[in-house]
Amino acid sequence: MTVVPEFSRPVRVDRIGADGLTQRIEATEAECAALAVRLDVPAVRRLAATFTLRRGESGRIAAEGRLAARLVRVCVVSLDEFETDMDETFSVLFVPEGALGEALDLEGDDEIPYAGGAIDLGDAAAEQMALTLDPYPRRPGAELPAEAGEAAESPFAVLRQVKGND
């Protein structure tokens, strides 16, 4: 069973010439709505990305990208929804299926497997957006209440008091 991503923009590898290929993609309104569900955010208003692709050895495709997005997030402090912009650059490496690196390289570019002579720029952009999302979004100006910063008395302190009274 083949899973079709919410935002798919396949590009045939044979279109990438010796000078590389620059490709701009943008999600439709329906794709943005599907991505919001995937990312568990109230809304994705816009997602666009530009990729510069270069052929490498053994079918590898190096991609430098920039994504721009507008999302609706929920503030972890106030629980209010707010809109936020994302503008990120990234690098990924498309690798033929079965040729992924054996060792995990935490410093290197993410490797994305591909098959059938095409890479999917839409899904790569969606993955990069997901990786860049702030796990604790905070609306600008949102502050914790003053009493939230005060530490409650430790249960161990209570035990020390009980033990000290013996």
Q: What pLDDT, in 10s, does the model give residues 41-77?
A: 999 999 999 999 999 988 899 999 999 999 999 999 9
Domain count, the chain: 1
In a domain, 2, yes or no: no
- Enclosing domain of residue 54: 10-164
In a domain, 35, yes or no: yes
Q: How far is CA 83 from the centre of its chain?
A: 17
Q: What is the pTM of this model?
A: 0.79
Q: Where are the alpha helices (DSSP H) in the chain?
A: 29-39, 121-132, 155-164
Instruction: Count CB neighbours of 53 within 10 A.
Output: 21
Q: Are 46 and 32 in contact (CB under 8 A)?
A: yes
In a domain, 3, yes or no: no
Q: Are 78 and 139 in contact (CB under 8 A)?
A: yes
pLDDT of residue 151: 55
Q: Which residues contact 127 (CB under 8 A, 6 or more apart)?
A: 110, 112
CA distances from residue 98 to 108, 115, 124 in whole angstroms, order as listed: 18, 9, 18
